Structures are given as C-alpha cells and as structure tokens.
Amino acid sequence: MRIAVTGATGFVGSHLAEHLTAAGHEVTVLARSPERLAWIRHLPVRVVYGDLDRADALREFTTGQEVVVHAAGLILAASRDEFIRVNVDGSVRLLEAAMASSPVLRRFVYISSQAAMGPSPAGASLEEDAPRRPISAYGESKSLAEQELARFADRVPITFIRPPWVYGPRDRHTLSYFRLAAWGLRIETGPRNRYSIVHAADLAQGIRLAAESTLPGARAYFLTDGDGRTIEQLVRIMADTTGRRTVRVPVPVAVAAVFVAVNELAGAIAHRPPFLGWRKLDEMRNPCWVVSDRRARKELGYRPAITTEQGMAETAAWYRAEGWL
C-alpha cells in the first residue's frame, strides 16, 4: 500500500517508517528539512518537505495515498493554546487535505496517547471505551483531536492508537532513568505506581496492523507489552542493564514538586516548555496508568514480540553504542 507518515523523523515515527518499508509498503514522509532525516536516511522512502501549516505541502504529501498515519504532534508546549493549535487543528487540517487530495484514501490512523483517556482506576486496566479523564493540557489536546477526527468517520475509517509509555532506541525520555542507573542511582517517585509500557518496535507493528485493517468507522486501540509494572520494577530492570550496583533513592511527590516548580520557572525564563512540568507531577500523583490491549489482540491480531527485559537491554545497548549512555 501507499502510506504517508508524519512524524517519521522522530522517535516513534522513525521506527514506524522502518517497519512499514520492511513490510513492503511504499512510504512517503513529511519532513521540515533534510537535516531531520538522520534516522530514516537509509530507508527507501519518498520525502516531501513542509509542515502541517503549509497547504501545498499537505496536498503533495497526501495525493494518491491509501493510508495516512499521523504520528507528528507536540508532547511539550508552552501553553494549552499551542497544544490545541498543533495537536487538534493541525490534525484536522491534515485529514481534510488527505480527503481532498486522494480519492483512494482508505484509512486515517491517528497516533494519540493514553493521556487522552487519563489514568486508569486503581487495580484495573483501562479499556478503550472508558470515560475520558485527561489530567493535562497535552492529554486534553489528544482527546479533543480524537473527537474532532471522529466526525469524519462516516466518510473515511479513522483509527486511534493510544500508546502508553513508549521506550526503545532513540528515546530521550527514558534515557534519564538509564543515566541515573549508570551513576549508581535508582530514583523512584511513587514506587508502587503502575504503568503499561511498550517497545517502539512493537508499537510500530500495531500501527501497521491498524493501517492494514479493513474494519469500518472510528476505532481505538491500546498497545502494550503485557501486564503493567510498578515504577520500582521498571527502574530496577533498567538498572540491571547497566551492570552496576545501584542505590534506591525514594523521592516523595512533595519534594518532586519543588523540582517541578524550579523547572517551570526556568522554562518560563527561557521561553521554552519545561521537560519536567506540572503534567508529569500530575501523572506521579495518579497511581495507575495501566491499559488493556485485548481489543488490539482480537481485532488486529496484535502480539507484542519484545519483553520488557529484552527491550530494556536492547535500548541500553543502543544508548551505549551511540554515546548517549
């Protein structure tokens, strides 16, 4: 199939582009500049230069495409309005361009987030049809984008993929945990908090299956590597990959709030979104971020191939090889 992918120069998108080309699909990617192609330069993809604000680039990008996978979006932003402008308005603009430019369009796949639904009830796995309870501006923007895109599902099937915590080679978020472990530290805030997690390669597999699906209407899926783990278990697995003895350092949420406040102030002074902000603190205050992938297994045939232990070891090896760790 001819599949157009936004966000292919980023962490998740580059894994997806690799997976789609390996599966034999003709892939077109949208990129801002040649300098951003480092992780996919070796792939047999067609590149269209532009962004979601350029109507001419979107027309060229989507013309003749059978599936559009929208993996681009803001994770950090300076304001709610910026999240809405990019994650909601930009997504709708892309879908409208695809519908106008490609009469053979058969599916639009939107890479949303577990954050669109919010935390799961303590002791239970969140299902796709649960009430929406986003607790951050980012989560709200993803939820609103889903609702806006779903309005078009009577004209083209829309699939929403809601990843939980994603990790793997090229991931800079999880890198901080590995670096602390390399220094001999296991920092744990809310050690009993539970998270679902998925390797980027397994996520890419699930997105491909969604793109190839023939199911109608608007559908949503969670993709995971299995049962959720506590942050204590996850940090210990990461620490084990470094081969170093580590010391557990519990950090109460109240103490973390001080670091968040400082980070927010530094971000405001530098006119950039903070890496560790109130959104992350709100996540720490909610003890359960576990989702069920039963629907994806049943409807898409999704089966994760990488265990957490295998994936963390592979990720640590990649960090070391690239000089990140």
Classify residue 117: in a domain, yes or no: yes
263 has a pLDDT exceeding 70: no
pLDDT of residue 283: 62
Model confidence band, residue 191 (pLDDT cutoffs 50, 70, 90) = low
- 87 CA to centre of own chain: 13
Classify residue 201: in a domain, yes or no: yes
On the 0-12 / 13-18 / 19+ scale of CB atoms within 10 A, 78 is: middle
pLDDT of residue 269: 52
Q: Looking at per-residue confidence, does 272 or 173 come out higher?
A: 173
Classify residue 95: in a domain, yes or no: yes
Classify residue 157: in a domain, yes or no: yes
CA distances from 259 to 189, 254, 255, 263 (A): 12, 9, 7, 6
Classify residue 282: in a domain, yes or no: no
Which long-range contacts (C-beta less than 8 Å, at least 24 apart) are formed by 49-54? 52/6, 52/86, 52/90, 52/91, 52/93, 52/94, 53/90
Classify residue 265: in a domain, yes or no: no
Both tokens of 56, joined, read 């001419």
Model confidence band, residue 253 (pLDDT cutoffs 50, 70, 90) = low
Give residue 299's domain range.
2-171+197-225+289-306
Classify residue 209: in a domain, yes or no: yes
Rounded to two decimals, what is the model's pTM? 0.91
DSSP conformational letter for 201? H
Residue 62's CATH number: 3.40.50.720
134 has a pLDDT exceeding 50: yes
pLDDT of residue 260: 47
Most confident among 8-12, 181-185, 227-231 (mean pLDDT): 8-12
Classify residue 87: in a domain, yes or no: yes
Determine the Cα–Cα distance for residues 243 and 228; give it in Å rounded to an integer. Answer: 24
What secondary structure does DSSP assign to 133-184, as a single string?
A: ---SHHHHHHHHHHHHHHTTTTTS-EEEEE--EEESTT-STTHHHHHHHHTT
Percent of the chain, pLDDT > 70?
A: 86
User: What average pLDDT does range 164-185 have in this prediction?
Assistant: 90
pLDDT of residue 258: 47
Most confident among 40-44, 177-181, 271-275, 278-282 (mean pLDDT): 40-44
Domains of the chain: total: 1
pLDDT of residue 226: 87
Determine the Cα–Cα distance for residues 114 and 292; give it in Å rounded to an integer. Answer: 11
